[in-house]
Amino acid sequence: MKLISYLKDEHEQLAALHNGNVYDMDTLHPDLPTSINMFLQYWDEYLELAQASLKAVQEGRLMPGNVIPVEQVQLLAPVPMPPSCRDGYAFRQHVEAARRNRKVDMIAEFDQYPIFYFTNHHSIQGPGDVRCMPDHFEKLDFELEVAIVICKHGRNIRAEEADEYIGGLMIMNDMSARRLQMEEMLLNLGPAKGKDFSTVIGPWLVTLDELQEYIVPAKENHVGLNWNLNMKCWVNGKQVSAGNVADMDWTFAEIIERASYGVDLYPGDVIGSGTVGTGCFLELNGTGKLNDPNYPEQWLKEGDVVEMEIDGLGRLSNTMVREEDDFSILAKKKI
């Protein structure tokens, strides 16, 4: 099932997407909730009821009202207000390339345990405009990722059982202001202001039953589900990135195990994979300059359109928009 959240009468509305049409949950069945946060609280029961109701629509046994083509609704993030958002570091190819481009050795700890950072869950957004301050345009970057949503409460979850806590997959674009990020991380903290202005997820959440045909084994000595899903990114119509979810070295199950150690995970928590190989301008620029010192750097500019596509998960589009405020924190540095 594909779950979407969209703006209806200035409020969030949960719906199912089928054959390009939007079916409000509460029109599929009166017992179904109108928000994804409530749906996630009783995931197993609501998902079964929603799937049965949608099947009745497909078979002509149910004719719900208010059926709208998806192009006519304003999509929100599938989970508009997650309790938290973590982002991982699961693709070895990306980490290796970034280290190589800086002419430093691959960090050995990558193969010992999965890591993640917390980003600003209040800056989660869906398709549409990404509002940027002047400092964000100082080396503005995208990051092509896949993300999961936690669908039930857990603590100290073992990797062997962790896939049961995954509600579904969706595309993630971890927007990055590289100058802010690099400057503040010189102090061995962050990323903070370099990342906290926008994290894009969507366009919809795809439940795991729709992705069974794509399942492939995890990499050697790893545990958990993995999926053979091609990942691509375009900037202004030109393809710049290509990878595959199956290239993840650390699985979401293993990231969940570490994230839940001594900590409660809650329905609605979002966890990203980290950047796929070739999945950002920072990596692409570094590789380009390594091969050619005269390689022209690329960064996102005002008006640029970033489109991401992952097999089975849809296509996510965002436009970079400048806020009407010339305030700069970079200009306030003391030295």
Domain boundary among 35, 57, 75: 75
Same domain (yes/no): 43, 157: no
Confidence label for 66 from pLDDT (cuts 50, 70 and 90): confident
pTM over cut 0.85:
yes
Residue 126 lies inside a defined structural domain of this protein: yes
Same domain (yes/no): 19, 106: no
Same domain (yes/no): 124, 216: yes
Q: Structure tokens of 318?
A: 């965002």
Q: Structure tokens of 48?
A: 């079964």
| pLDDT value of position 277 | 97
Same domain (yes/no): 235, 255: yes
Domain boundary among 47, 75, 103: 75
Residue 198 lies inside a defined structural domain of this protein: yes
Give the residue numbers spanning the domain of 226.
Answer: 85-332
255 touches 116 (CB < 8 A): yes
| pLDDT value of position 80 | 98
Angle in degrees, CA 12, 144, 130, rounded to 5: 45
Question: How do residues 1-53 score in pLDDT, each as one tens digit?
Answer: 999 999 999 999 999 999 999 999 999 999 999 999 999 999 999 999 999 99
Question: How do residues 249-297 score in pLDDT, each as one tens digit?
Answer: 999 999 999 999 999 999 999 999 999 999 999 999 999 999 999 999 9
Q: Percentage of the chain with pLDDT > 90? A: 96
| pLDDT value of position 65 | 79
**CATH number of the domain enclosing 101:** 3.90.850.10
Same domain (yes/no): 27, 158: no
Mean pLDDT within 303-323: 98
Question: How do residues 123-179 score in pLDDT, each as one tens digit?
Answer: 999 999 999 999 999 999 999 999 999 999 999 999 999 999 999 999 999 999 999
Is the pLDDT reported for residue 335 higher than 90? no
Residue 197 lies inside a defined structural domain of this protein: yes
Same domain (yes/no): 176, 116: yes
Is the pLDDT reported for residue 184 higher than 90? yes
Residue 41 lies inside a defined structural domain of this protein: yes
Same domain (yes/no): 143, 224: yes
CA–CA separation, 319 and 59 (whole Å): 39
Same domain (yes/no): 158, 249: yes
Same domain (yes/no): 173, 36: no
Same domain (yes/no): 153, 30: no
Residue 80 lies inside a defined structural domain of this protein: no
* Domains in the chain, number: 2
Residue 119, burial from CB neighbour count under 10 angstroms (0-12, 13-18, 19+): buried
Same domain (yes/no): 306, 216: yes
Same domain (yes/no): 193, 235: yes
